[in-house]
């Protein structure tokens, strides 16, 4: 069965440093997509970055990059040069492309706190 695991309930990082948030997944579908969302204390879910299972290169969006290791089934989010506004909960999610419904499966989330 498909599953997403985030093993870090909480993380701290010093402002301006880089931080890696871990995500592992399990699926038997060869075609899938991996997403990261940010949820600030206000509650809205903000889409950050996407990686397709057949993409050859790791996805990047500004200060966000996704370290995609297919053989290890991991899709870690790297935030470079952390800012105070990065303090939030972060969710990893996966969509299997079979079925074509756009359903996402979410991990438990990681709370990131950026220290000044």
Question: Could you list the residues that contact another protein (CB under 8 A)?
Answer: 4, 6, 9, 35, 37, 42-45, 47, 50, 91, 93, 100-109
For 39, list phi and psi in degrees, rounded to 5.
-125, 100
- Taking the CA atoms of residue 30, residue 36, residue 37 and residue 38 in that order, the dihedral angle to the nearest 10 degrees is 160
* Closer Cβ to another protein, 16 or 103, answer by number: 103
Q: Shortest approach of another protein to residue 40 CB, angstroms?
A: 11
Sign of CA dihedral 75, 24, 52, 106: negative
* Closer Cβ to another protein, 56 or 101, answer by number: 101
Alpha carbon 49 to chain centroid, angstroms: 7
Distances (CA, A) of 11 to 6, 44, 88, 103, 113: 12, 20, 10, 28, 6
Q: Shortest approach of another protein to residue 14 CB, angstroms?
A: 26
* Closer Cβ to another protein, 57 or 100, answer by number: 100
* Closer Cβ to another protein, 42 or 57, answer by number: 42
Q: Shortest approach of another protein to residue 9 CB, angstroms?
A: 7
């Amino acid at each position: 069965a498909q599953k997403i695991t985030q093993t870090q309930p909480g993380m701290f990082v010093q402002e301006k440093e880089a931080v890696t948030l871990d995500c592992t997944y399990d699926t038997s579908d060869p075609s899938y997509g991996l997403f990261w969302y940010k949820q600030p204390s206000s509650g809205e879910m903000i889409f950050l970055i996407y990686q397709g299972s057949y993409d050859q290169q790791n996805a990047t969006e500004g200060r966000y990059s996704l370290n995609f290791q297919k053989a290890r089934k991991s899709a870690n989010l790297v935030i470079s040069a952390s800012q105070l506004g990065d303090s939030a909960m972060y969710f990893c999610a996966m969509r299997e492309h079979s079925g074509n419904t756009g359903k996402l499966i979410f991990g438990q989330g990681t709370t990131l706190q950026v220290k000044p």
